[in-house]
Amino acid sequence: AKQLLFVNPNEPPMVFSWFPVIGSTITYGMDPPTFFRENQKKHGDCFTFILLGKKTTVYVGPNGNDFILNGKIKDVCAEEIYTVLTTPVFGKDVVYDCPNSKLMEQKKFMKIALTTEAFRSYVPIISDEVETYLKRTPDFKGQSGIVNICPKMAQITIFTASHSLQGKEIRDKFDEKLADLYHDLDMGFSPINFMLHWAPLPWNNRRDYAQRTVAQIYMDVIKSRRAKGDKGAQDMMAHLMNSTYKNGVQVPDHEIAHMMIALLMAGQHSSSSTSAWIMLRLASRPDIMEELYQEQVKAFGAHLPPLKYEDLAKLPLNQAIVKETLRLHAPIHSIMRAVKSPMPVPGTKYVIPTDHVLLAAPGVSASDEQYFPQPDLWEPHRWEPDHPLTPSHVRNATNEDEEEKIDYGYGLVSKGTASPYLPFGAGRHRCIGEHFANVQLQTITAIIVRNFKFRNVDGSDKVIGTDYASLFSRPLEPANIYWEKRN
Ligand code: HEM
Mean pLDDT value across residues 390-398: 84
CA 434 to ligand 1 centroid distance, Å: 7
For ligand 1, atom 29, name the residue with the nearest CA.
431
Q: Is the CB of 332 under 6 A from ligand 1?
A: yes
CA 90 to ligand 1 centroid distance, Å: 14
Between 156-160, 239-243, 413-417, the lowest mean confidence (pLDDT) is in 413-417
Q: What angle do CA 3, 4, 5 make, to 5 degrees?
A: 90
CA 294 to ligand 1 centroid distance, Å: 32
Q: What is the best residue among 431, 438, 471 to mutate for testing ligand 1's pocket, by most ligand atoms within 8 Å of CB?
A: 431
Q: Is the CB of 424 under 6 A from ligand 1?
A: yes
pLDDT of 190 reads 82
Is 150 assigned to a binding site?
no
Q: Is the CB of 267 under 6 A from ligand 1?
A: yes
CA 78 to ligand 1 centroid distance, Å: 13
Mean pLDDT value across residues 28-54: 96
Cβ neighbour number for residue 263 with a 10 Å cutoff? 24
pLDDT of 414 reads 78
Atom in ligand 1 nearest the alpha carbon of residue 262: 33
- State the Cα torsion 373-377-382-383 to the nearest 10°: 110
Distance of CA 72 to the CA centre of its chain: 23
CA 425 to ligand 1 centroid distance, Å: 8
- Per the DSSP assignment, residues forming a β-bridge with 475 are 466
Asked if residues 474 and 276 have their Cβ atoms less than 8 Å apart, the reply is yes
**Distance separating alpha carbons of residues 396 and 360, to the nearest angstrom:** 26
Atom in ligand 1 nearest the alpha carbon of residue 114: 28
pLDDT in tens, 119-129: 999 999 999 99
Given a cut of 80, whether residue 7 has pLDDT beyond it is: no
DSSP-derived 3-state class of residue 240 = helix
CA 69 to ligand 1 centroid distance, Å: 13
Atom in ligand 1 nearest the alpha carbon of residue 428: 37
DSSP-derived 3-state class of residue 112 = helix
Mean pLDDT value across residues 38-48: 97
* Strand bridging mode 356-360 / 54-59: parallel
For ligand 1, atom 27, name the residue with the nearest CA.
433
Atom in ligand 1 nearest the alpha carbon of residue 69: 13
Atom in ligand 1 nearest the alpha carbon of residue 330: 19
DSSP-derived 3-state class of residue 336 = strand
For ligand 1, atom 13, name the residue with the nearest CA.
429
Q: Is the CB of 423 under 6 A from ligand 1?
A: yes
Q: What is the best residue among 270, 321, 364 to mutate for testing ligand 1's pocket, by most ligand atoms within 8 Å of CB?
A: 270
Mean pLDDT value across residues 161-169: 95
Asked if residues 326 and 274 have their Cβ atoms less than 8 Å apart, the reply is yes
DSSP-derived 3-state class of residue 306 = coil
For ligand 1, atom 38, name the residue with the nearest CA.
429
CA 423 to ligand 1 centroid distance, Å: 9
Mean pLDDT value across residues 66-90: 96
pLDDT of 405 reads 85
pLDDT band with cut points at 50, 70 and 90 for residue 232: low
DSSP state of 48: E
Give the type of residue at 377. L
Percent of the chain residues topping a pLDDT of 70: 97
For ligand 1, atom 25, name the residue with the nearest CA.
433
CA 332 to ligand 1 centroid distance, Å: 9
φ, ψ at 452 (rounded to 5°): -130, 160
Q: What is the ipTM of this complex?
A: 0.99
Given a cut of 60, whether residue 155 has pLDDT beyond it is: yes
Termini Cα distance of the chain: 67
Given a cut of 90, whether residue 6 has pLDDT beyond it is: no
DSSP-derived 3-state class of residue 338 = strand
- State the Cα torsion 430-70-469-444 to the nearest 10°: -20
Mean predicted lDDT score pLDDT of the chain: 94
pLDDT of 312 reads 98
Residues 6+ apart with CB under 8 A from 26: none
**Distance separating alpha carbons of residues 81 and 358, to the nearest angstrom:** 10
Distance of CA 297 to the CA centre of its chain: 30
Between 159-163, 235-239, 358-362, the lowest mean confidence (pLDDT) is in 235-239
Given a cut of 60, whether residue 462 has pLDDT beyond it is: yes
| CB burial string 179-190: b at 16+ within 10 A, e below | eebbebbbbbbb
pLDDT of 122 reads 97
pLDDT of 120 reads 97
CA 3 to ligand 1 centroid distance, Å: 36
Q: What angle do CA 188, 333, 60 make, to 5 degrees?
A: 140
pLDDT of 229 reads 85
DSSP state of 70: T
Q: Is the CB of 270 under 6 A from ligand 1?
A: yes
pLDDT: is 399 or 176 the higher one? 176
Q: Is the CB of 70 under 6 A from ligand 1?
A: no
pLDDT band with cut points at 50, 70 and 90 for residue 399: low
pLDDT of 193 reads 82
101 membership: H or E segment, kind and range: helix 100-113
Q: Is the CB of 331 under 6 A from ligand 1?
A: yes
CA 349 to ligand 1 centroid distance, Å: 33
pLDDT in tens, 423-450: 999 999 999 999 999 999 999 999 999 9
Q: Is the CB of 439 under 6 A from ligand 1?
A: no
